Structure 1
Amino acid sequence: MNVVTLGHSLDSGRIQSINRVFKSAMSEQLGDKQHNPLPQQAKLYQTWAEGEVGICVSGNVMIDRTALGEPGNVVLDKHSDLTKFRHWADSARANNSRLWMQLNHPGKQIPAVLSPEPVAPSAISLGRGLEKSFNTPRAMTEAEIEQTIADFATSAKLAKETGFAGIQIHGAHGYLVSQFLSPRHNQRDDKWGGNSDNRMRFVLAVYSAIRAAVGDDFPIGIKLNSADFMKDGFDETESMAVLKALDSGGIDLIEISGGTYESPSMMGANKKAPVKASTAKREAYFLDYAEQARQHLNCVLVVTGGFRSSKAMNQALASGATDMIGLARPLSLMPDLAKQAVANDNFVIDVNNPTTGFKGLDAAAMLSITWYEAQLRRIGRGREPKYNLSGWYAVFDTFTRLGKFAFAKRRG
C-alpha cells in the first residue's frame, strides 16, 4: 500500500483534487457595495490556482444580504450580479484547481453596527464581553428557519450555475449552524431545539436542501467544530454524532475545526487551554479528534489549523487521520505554498505576529485578522505578499477601506 503524501492526487466519489492541499476559508473582505465579488477576488483565487492548490474554499459568502457578518462580505442570492461570480469561478481553474464556495449565515454574530436586532435560534446574547459589540438576537420563528434553509439551497444552486466546483456549509466558529447545534445557544423547546437530535435537525435540513438543489453529482462539504471549547457548549460527543449523521446522509467532505468567537480555538488563541506538547509536535490542532472520526466516517476528511511544515503535513496524511491538509494564513503569505511544499520534504513556513507596538491599537484594529486581509488584497492587486508588512499599514488600509466601520468589532 502506497503512503499518501501531499503530492498525491485525490479521486474520491464526487471529489477530485490534483494534490492534498486544501485552502481553508479566510475572510477576504473583497465584496463591493452591492456585495458582489470585486475583480481582486478573481485575481486572488487565480493566484492560488496557479500556485497549484488542489481545492480552494472561498471566504464565507452570505446567503442573506440582510444578515452580514462583516461589512465587506460577498452575498450570493437572487439579487447578485452573476456575471461577476462567473468571472471569479472562471479565473480559478488553472492547473485543474477547484474552487468551492463556502456558504454562511452569521446568526447573532453580526456586529452591532450592521444590525440592531440579529436573529438566532434563541434570544441569547454572546458572552465574555462580546455583548457590548454584538446585539442580543431575536429568536427565529419557524417560518424564518425554513426560509433560511431555502436560502442556503438557493445560493448553492447559483454557485453551481456560475461555475463553482463545490459547496461548503460553514457549520463552525459560532455562526448560525453552529448556534443551532450548541446547547448553550439553542434553548428552543420546539423541534429545532432541546435534545441533541433536535439541535442537529437544522444542519441536516440545510444539507438535504442543498443536495436537492445541486443534484447528486455535485460535491458538498461542511466545516464543523470538533467542540466549542466552552462550558455548556457543543462537545466532542455531540460533534461525533453530527459527523456520523452527515456521513450517513452522503456528505462528501468534512473539514474539522473548533471554537467560537467566545473561545477562539480556531485561531490557536485559547490561552486558558495551552497547546499540548504532542499537538505542538504534530502541528495540527485537531488531528487527535480526526483520528477518532476516521474510525467512523467514509467521507473525505480535512484537518485545518496549525500546519507549518511539509514533514508534519505528510505525517498526518500517512497516518490516515486526514485526507487533505487545510491551510489558511500560510497561503496568504506564500500563494505558491502548495507547489513548494509538494516539491520539498523539508519545507517550513512560519506566520507573523503583526503589531503596531501598541497592544490597545492592535486589539481595536483586530490586527491579527486585518493584517492578513491586507495581504490578500495585495495579492488581489497583483502584488506579492509582504512578510514584514507594517502593522501600521494594515491599520491604515483597513481604515481607508471600511471608514467608520474600521474599528467596529467584527470578531471575538
Structure 2
Amino acid sequence: MDDLLFQPLTLPNGTVIKNRFFKSAMSETMGDRHQLPNRELIMLYNKWASEDIGVLVTGNVMIDSRYLGEPGNVALDSEKNLDVFKAWAQVGQKKGTPIWLQLNHPGKQMYRSIQEEPIAPSAIPISGSSASAFRIPREMTLVEIQETVTKFISAAQRAEEAGFSGVQLHAAHGYLINQFLSPADNHRKDTYGGSLDNRMRFLREIYQGIRRSVNPNFSIALKLNASDFKEEGFGFEDCQEVVKIMSDLGVDLIEISGGNYETPVFGSEYENGAGFLNYATALSKITNVPIVSTGGFRDKKQMEKAINDGVSMIGMARPFVLMPNLVTEIKQTKDFHLTTPRLTTGLSSLDKTLGPIIGVSYYEGQMKRLANGRPIKRRENAWPYLLTTVKLHGLAALRPRRQ
C-alpha cells in the first residue's frame, strides 16, 4: 500500500505522470501591471519543479485581460510578450515535470475596483455578504459567447506554443464556465440555457475547440465543482452527468472541488476531512478518466486510502507552500502528518469576517518568500499579511476570494 502514491499514472492522451501528487492551483497574485508573470512567479515554479511533484497546475490565468478576477492576475490573450510565458513553462523541463496553465474567465466574479462591466450568462447579481464588492453583470450576447470561446481556444494554443504541457479549464468556484453550468446563475432562454445539455454547450465548445487546435499529447484537464452548495445551483447529479459527457469527449483528467464566492467552503471541517474526497471517490466509479480529489489532505495514510479507493491523484495546494519538498517528506516518513498554522487578528468577530482572506493573504506572502529563496514563516498573527495585501492591492483585496 505504501507504493500507491508513487506509482506512475497514464493519462488518456498517453502522458505518463511519475507519481500521484497534484499541485492544485492557487492564486499567486504575481502578475505585473501588464498582467504578465513576474520574476517571482517564475522562480516560485522553478522551486516547485525541482521537487518530485507529479503535475504542477498554475494559478488561474485569465483568457481576456479586460476581465480579471482579482488584482495581480496574469492574462494570456495576446501573442505579445510570449517569451515570458516561455520562461515560465521552461522551468518544468529540467526534471520533466508537467506544468499545466489553468485558464479562466471570472464572469460576474470581478471586483468593482477592476473598472470593467462584468459579463455573465444572465444578469444575476452575486448575493450574500460579499455582494457589495461586485457590480451587477450584463447578460452576454451570442457574439460575446463565441468571442469568449475563441479566447479560451487561443489561450490554449498560446500555452502550447509557450511550452506548457497542458491546460486546465477552470469550471469550478463560481467563475464563468461554472456560471453557465449552474441553473441558479444561468437563466438563458437560448441554446446556452435551460437543460444541462444546453448549459454545457459553452464548456463543450471550449473543450472541443481546444482539442481540435492542439497536438494530441497536449493535456486538457477540467476543474469541476462536485456541488456549488447553493440552492437550485449546480449539484452532484449534474456533476456526474458532466463527468460522463466530458469523459466521452476525451478529457484527460478531472479535478473535483466545490463552492463559490457566495458559498465558500473553508475551515477546519474541510481541511481535516479531505475536502471533496467522498464525491471524487464516487465519480471515480463512473469514469475511466483520472479523478483528482483536492483539499484537506494532511495525512499519508489518508492519501493512500484515497488512491486505494479509486481516486487517481491527491490534489494539494497550501501544503506545497508550507513544505515545498512535501513529496520527499511523505516518501521518507511512514506516519507523515502535516499541520497548518491557524492565523488570527486577535478579534474573533474580525476573524469570522475575514477568515477566508486571512488564509489567502498568508499563503500569498509565503509564496513570495519561496520565490525569493527564503524560508516560510509559521506564525499566528494575521495582521502582517492582511496589511501587505492591502498595500499591494488595495482594500478591495480583503473581499473573499477562492484560490
Q: TM-score range by the shorter chain?
A: over 0.9
SS at 1:231's partner residue? coil
Select the residue among 324, 339, 344 that pairs with 2:333.
344
Distance in 2 separating the partners of 1:319 and 1:335:
26
The answer to whether the 8 A contact 2:284-2:290 is kept is no
Alignment of 1:117-128 (within 5 A): 117-128=117-128
Residue 398 of structure 1 and its aligned partner are, at CA, apart by 1.4
| 2:117 paired with 1:153 | no
Alignment of 1:237-276 (within 5 A): 237-265=237-265, 267-268=266-267
- What is the deviation of 1:386? 1.4
Q: TM-score, with normalisation over the residues of structure 2?
A: 0.94
Distance 1:197 1:115 in 2: 34
Structure 2 partner of 1:172: 172
CA distance in 2, matches of 1:357, 1:176: 36
1:238 maps to a residue whose letter is D
Does residue 327 in structure 1 map to residue 306 in structure 2? Answer: no
Q: How far apart, in 2, do the equivalents of 1:116 and 1:360 lie?
A: 32
2:288 counterpart residue number: 298
Cα deviation, 1:309-355, whole Å, max 9, x if unaligned, reads 111111111122x1110001111111111121122221111112212
Q: Distance in 2 between matches of 1:33 and 1:79?
A: 17
Q: What corresponds to 1:63 in structure 2?
A: 63
* Equivalent pair of 1:9/1:17 in contact (CA under 8 Å): yes
Q: 2:365 aligns with which of 370, 374, 377?
A: 374
Hey, what's the Cα distance between the residues in 1 that align with 2:263 and 2:192?
Answer: 24
Judge which range, 348-357 or 235-244, deviates more: 348-357
Give the AA of the match of 1:201.
R
Deviation at 1:261, TM superposition (A): 1.1
Residues 171-220 of structure 1: per-residue CA shift (max 9 Å, x gap): 00000000000000000000000111111111111111111221322110
* Residue 354 of structure 1, aligned match among 334, 343, 354: 343
Amino acid at match of 1:38: N
1:355, 1:391 within 8 Å by CA — same for their partners in 2?
yes
CA contact (8 A) 2:2 2:304 kept: no
1-structure distance, mates of 2:72, 2:188: 32
The yes-or-no answer on 1:142 pairing with 2:136 is no
Shift of 1:227: 0.8
Contact 2:281 2:306 in 1 (8 A): no
Equivalenced residue count is: 399
Q: Hey, what does 2:212 align to over in structure 1?
A: 212
Alpha-carbon spacing, 1:257–1:404, altered in 2? closer, same or farther (3 Å)? closer
1:42 touches 1:92 (CA, 8 Å); kept in 2?
no
User: CA–CA distance in 2 between the matches of 1:216 and 1:406?
Assistant: 39
CA gap of 1:116–1:88, structure 2 versus 1, over 3 A, is closer
The C-alpha deviation readout for 1:379-406, integer Å capped at 9, x for no partner, is 1111111122742221232133224644
CA contact (8 A) 2:25 2:60 kept: yes
Other-structure match for 2:130: 130
Q: Partner letter of residue 276 of structure 2?
A: F
User: Any idea what SS the aligned residue of 1:128 has?
Assistant: coil
Query: More displaced, 242-251 or 358-367?
Result: 358-367
My pick for the range that moved more, 295-304 or 7-16, is: 7-16
| Partner residue, 2:382 | 391
The equivalences for 1:176-215 within 5 A come to 176-215=176-215
Give the 3 Å change call, closer, same or farther, for CA 90–389 of structure 1 in structure 2: farther
> Which 10-residue stretch deviates more, 79-88 or 28-37?
79-88
3-state SS of 1:91 partner:
helix
Provide the secondary structure at the position in 2 that maps to 1:6: helix
Are the equivalent residues in 2 in contact too, given 1:26–1:60 (CA < 8 A)? yes
Q: Contact 2:79/2:158 (CA < 8 Å) preserved in 1?
A: no
1:254 alignment partner, SS class: strand
Q: SS in structure 2 opposite 1:227?
A: coil
